[in-house]
Amino acid sequence: MHEIFISYSTKDKDLVFQITKKLEDAGLKIWIAPHDINTGIDYEDSIIEAIEKTNVFLLFISKNSLQSEDVKSELTLARSEGKQIVPFRLDDSPLKSKFRYYLSSTQHISVDKKNLDDSIDKLVHEIKEKLNKEKFLPEMVLAESGSFVTDSNEEILLTYDFLIGKYEITFEQYGWYCEINGISLPNDEHWGRGKRPVINVRWWDCIRYCNWLSNLSNLPIAYDQNGYLLDADGKKTDELAKVQGYRLPTKAEWEYAAYGGHKRTETAFLYSGSDNLKAVGWYWVNSGDRELSGYRSERKISLNNCRTHEVGEKMPNSLGIFDMSGNVWEWCYDNYIENSPLQKENPVIISDHPEQTEKVEKGGSFSGNPHYAQINYTGKYEANAKRKNLGFRIVKTPE
């Protein structure tokens, strides 16, 4: 299976192919056009599929590639898919337009044509570092800035882009964190671990996991020891775009992404991706050994072995996100404050009162009624408590 997608201008192909051969000799699995496009397969479809399936996007920057619309489109897609981008400079041409916007905060490696092997060694090291981290990093989807209307008919505007987890954090992903840090694994209720969403985690457990993931990715941590948001300089902030590390979504971010973000349909669905909950989510009716009907009861749920399911088995929403309705409730960052007025722009609800320990949860679960899985329903739970139907997904600011 290919690991690295090569984006380049064909005008640079001689040098690019020379470098690519050395990367392959170093054991890296490269996808590069036109070599890896199968006969009879549409060129554009092949490019899109390759970017989606590879882990690292290696961009050869040159005067030629900066003028290439194809390279620009490939970079845009890689960023929207949340891929790890490695820019490799073939010359000193200044970045412009989207290239500068997308790559200004990303570390570049420059070719030294007199010592090409040294440059390639640095490149190999950088790529292998990213591939080693890749198994720990959740797949992310880009939600571009935009607005949505709440159930109380208020328009909420998010003025910044953010990446959000394509799936809920799984036992497999959380298990690596536990193993490395000597932490006991959460109880899986004998349903299995692997690709099932992690459960029985406290809000505090989730933000510690986020900070660990930020450290792993050489990003500034998002939270201080009291759970307040931090900017890139480690200063307390409520401006979400200034937080660079991994974090929990706010209630507003969660709802915006659940509706489909900038790709939402004209008519808002009840659930994330459909008005038919069975198509997009697991809830008390369809999460057990057989499909149930009639009234909901805890006895029915227990006897039918209703349980969590592996992430990504149902339909995604229009943004490409899975399981935002049903499967497990998801922790959000915000405090739950009854009838709290919501800011119209980039809202986040933070309480300075230590006794305010209830946090927002969204999305419903495998054991819940359909009403709880509706996008506009908001639940609450104690930050220091955990449940067998409560997990989380994460977000971050694009680099």
- Let me know whether 224 and 280 are in one domain: yes
Of residues 234, 261, 244, 254, the one with CA closest to residue 398: 244
- Let me know whether 231 and 200 are in one domain: yes
The residue among 118, 134, 150 that closes a domain is 134
- Let me know whether 94 and 168 are in one domain: no
* CATH code for position 379: 3.90.1580.10
- Let me know whether 156 and 67 are in one domain: no
The residue among 134, 149, 174 that closes a domain is 134
Buried b / exposed e over 317-355, threshold 16 CB at 10 Å, is: bebbbbbbbbbbbbbbbbbbeeeeeeeeebbbbeeeeee
Distance CA 260, CA 309 (A): 22
- Let me know whether 156 and 285 are in one domain: yes
Name the domain count of the chain.
Answer: 2
Checking DSSP bridges between strand 358-362 and strand 329-335, what pairing results, if any? Answer: antiparallel
Q: What is the full per-residue pLDDT of the chain (399 aa) written as tens digits?
A: 788 999 999 999 999 999 999 999 999 999 999 999 888 888 899 999 999 888 889 999 999 999 999 999 999 998 877 788 899 999 989 888 778 877 866 678 887 777 888 989 999 988 888 887 777 889 999 999 999 998 788 899 999 999 999 999 999 999 989 988 888 999 999 999 999 999 999 999 999 999 999 988 878 999 999 999 999 999 999 999 999 999 999 999 999 999 999 998 878 899 999 999 999 999 999 999 999 999 999 999 999 999 999 999 999 999 999 999 999 999 999 999 887 667 899 999 887 765 578 999 999 999 999 999 999 999 999 999 999 999 999 999 997
- Let me know whether 48 and 143 are in one domain: no
Secondary structure of residue 59 in the 3-state scheme:
strand
- Let me know whether 252 and 294 are in one domain: yes
| pTM of the complete model beyond 0.85 | no
The residue among 134, 163, 196 that closes a domain is 134
Under a CB-based contact definition with an 8 Å cutoff, are residues 260 and 254 in contact? no
- Let me know whether 107 and 184 are in one domain: no
- Let me know whether 31 and 180 are in one domain: no
- Let me know whether 176 and 68 are in one domain: no
* CATH code for position 96: 3.40.50.10140
